[in-house]
């Protein structure tokens, strides 16, 4: 229908401009993805209108018989997907899932131990200005200077020294898998809870292509919109014995009415994540990231001052290390933007440049894999990026790279069934 176009042409026009941007450029922000139309349809439904404080079967509002069905489907599907005993699908976002998980297990002033933001951690893992750094005594662990892997000896040393009540394992910009069993051993040795925030790699876990934290952690949190490919939102998974704590921490602890339209969209995404096509897409996601890392480690790229944090990747992203390049992270982000590739600049471990400039870019493959990119496509993307990150390029070279990007985008149409009517 033309409702939006007629009611609010300004918003309608901006949404369509965004659709065109998504279709005509290459989205390589590692935390982004393209939700299927079915997911967006559920989210844009009449469920927008419904209040449903409480949980299925135990609501504080009338008329919840249908949203109960939907929320229970989402709960059952996510429990099945990850083999979890308990799930809460109400957190409005990943940050809220983490806030609820922490407030269920901690008192203000307790100590948490998480990966330093500057070494790939997330704001909610103890950053000074975030609730997690304000409410709790946050201590940070790091990656090693040589191998760029989480330094488990340091984790153990800091755990012994600070006796945290909670250890957080998880990351936003880290190209390797974590050793969840070792984290649990260290947590147990000091009587701490282990929380794994799998926001970034949940889709890989769901596909069976990354070790699952569920058997090891007391609580696992995630977003639903990154590799998992669903609507923007959060979830909490745990063992049954902690169910009551987490339920009351989400509602009424952190939130009021759940977003049942988003929960419906989560349910659809969880159904899709259990299908073979989803696994195949995650395989292409990983293959694309590996191809990109290898291309950026080739001699010509190394000679241009390009390097790759940790020397490769085991997940859906590559952290490009430009510490040896004249091109800084900000310039690299702008350069890629100019040819139609969207990434974000990112500090690399031990970054000498300030955070607003940085010496890295984080490049992810989930969104392009969702668009159908195969290994040949990713090889072409990797070649384009390697060329684009040379310190000195003239306008003619940039024009040719922009044309190659446009050709790739046109060859893998995004949302081909959506016309200008969003
Ligand atoms: N946890 C991790 C590891 C993340 O990378 C992010 C998002 O970037 C979040 C939590 C927060 O998710 P949201 O942006 O939905 O609050």
Rounded to the nearest angstrom, the distance between the alpha carbon of 27 and the centre of ligand 1 is 18
Q: 372-419, pLDDT tens digit by residue?
A: 999 999 999 999 999 999 999 999 999 999 999 999 999 999 998 786
Average pLDDT, the chain: 97
Cα separation, 82 vs 211, whole angstroms: 11
| pLDDT bracket for residue 206 (50, 70, 90) | very high
Which comes out higher in pLDDT, residue 31 or 419?
Answer: 31
Q: 346-373, pLDDT tens digit by residue?
A: 999 999 999 999 999 999 999 999 999 9
Rounded to the nearest angstrom, the distance between the alpha carbon of 94 and the centre of ligand 1 is 5
Q: 268-284, pLDDT tens digit by residue?
A: 999 999 999 999 999 99
Specify the pLDDT at position 195. Answer: 98
Phi-psi region of 305 (alpha: psi -120 to 50; beta: other; left: phi over 0): left
Sort strands 111-115 and 341-342 into parallel, antiparallel or unpaired: unpaired
Q: 312-335, pLDDT tens digit by residue?
A: 999 999 999 999 999 999 999 999
51 is catalytic: yes
Q: 75-134, pLDDT tens digit by residue?
A: 999 999 999 999 999 999 999 999 999 999 999 999 999 999 999 999 999 999 999 999
Q: Tell me the mean pLDDT in the region 152-178.
A: 98
Q: Give the side-chain half-sphere CA count within 13 A for 22.
A: 19
Specify the pLDDT at position 270. Answer: 98
Q: One of 50, 176, 226, 335 is an active-site residue; which one?
A: 226
Backbone angles phi, psi at 142, to 5 degrees: -135, 175
Specify the pLDDT at position 422. Answer: 56
Backbone angles phi, psi at 231, to 5 degrees: -75, 165
Q: Which of 30, 32, 95 to mutate to test the pocket of ligand 1 (most atoms within 8 A of CB)?
A: 95
Specify the pLDDT at position 60. Answer: 97
| pLDDT bracket for residue 215 (50, 70, 90) | very high
Rounded to the nearest angstrom, the distance between the alpha carbon of 209 and the centre of ligand 1 is 21
335, 388 in Cβ contact below 8 A? yes
221 is catalytic: no
307, 321 in Cβ contact below 8 A? yes
Structure tokens at 304: 């241009």
Ligand 1 binding pocket includes 362 (Cβ within 6 Å) = no
Ligand 1 binding pocket includes 228 (Cβ within 6 Å) = no
Specify the pLDDT at position 1. Answer: 59
Residue 310 neighbours by CB distance under 10 Å = 21
Specify the pLDDT at position 419. Answer: 65
Q: Maximum distance among all alpha carbons in the chain?
A: 66
Specify the pLDDT at position 421. Answer: 56
Q: What percent of the chain has pLDDT over 90?
A: 98
Q: One of 32, 51, 79, 383 is an active-site residue; which one?
A: 51
């Amino acid at each position: 229908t033309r409702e939006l176009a007629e009611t609010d042409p300004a918003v309608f026009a901006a949404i369509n401009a965004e659709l065109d941007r998504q279709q005509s450029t290459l989205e390589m922000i590692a935390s982004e993805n393209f939700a299927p139309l079915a997911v967006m349809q559920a989210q844009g439904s009449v469920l927008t209108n419904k209040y449903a404080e409480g949980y299925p079967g135990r609501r504080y509002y009338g008329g919840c018989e249908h949203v109960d069905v939907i929320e229970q489907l989402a709960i059952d599907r996510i429990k099945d997907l990850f083999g979890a005993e308990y799930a809460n699908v109400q957190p409005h976002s990943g940050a809220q899932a983490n806030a609820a998980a922490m407030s269920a297990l901690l008192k203000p002033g307790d100590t948490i131990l998480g990966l330093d933001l500057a070494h790939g951690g997330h704001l909610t893992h103890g950053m000074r200005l975030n609730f997690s750094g304000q409410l709790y005594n946050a201590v940070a662990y790091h990656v090693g200077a040589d191998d760029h892997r989480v330094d488990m000896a340091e984790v153990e040393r800091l755990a012994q020294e600070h006796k945290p009540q909670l250890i957080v394992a998880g990351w936003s910009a880290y190209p390797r898998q974590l050793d969840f069993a070792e984290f649990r051993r260290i947590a147990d040795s000091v009587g701490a809870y282990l929380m794994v925030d799998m926001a970034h790699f949940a889709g890989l876990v769901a596909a069976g292509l990354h070790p699952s934290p569920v058997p090891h952690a007391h609580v696992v949190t995630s977003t639903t919109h990154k590799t998992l490919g669903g609507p923007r939102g959060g979830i909490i998974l745990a063992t049954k014995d902690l169910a009551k704590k987490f339920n009351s921490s989400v509602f009424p602890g952190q939130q009021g009415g759940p977003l049942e339209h988003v929960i419906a969209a989560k349910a659809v995404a969880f159904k899709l994540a259990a299908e073979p096509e989803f696994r195949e897409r995650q395989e292409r996601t990983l293959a694309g990231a590996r191809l990109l890392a290898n291309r950026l480690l080739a001699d010509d790229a190394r000679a241009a001052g390009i390097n790759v944090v940790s020397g490769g990747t085991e997940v859906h992203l590559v952290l490009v290390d430009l510490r040896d390049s004249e091109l800084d992270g900000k310039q690299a982000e702008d350069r890629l933007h100019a040819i139609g590739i969207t990434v974000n600049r990112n500090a690399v471990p031990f970054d000498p440049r300030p955070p607003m400039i940085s010496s890295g870019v984080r490049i992810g493959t989930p969104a392009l894999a969702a668009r159908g990119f195969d290994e040949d496509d990713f090889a072409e993307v990797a070649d384009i990026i390697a060329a684009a990150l040379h310190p000195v390029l003239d306008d003619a070279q940039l024009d040719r790279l922009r044309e190659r990007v446009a050709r790739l985008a046109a060859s893998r149409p995004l949302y081909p069934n959506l016309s200008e009517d969003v």
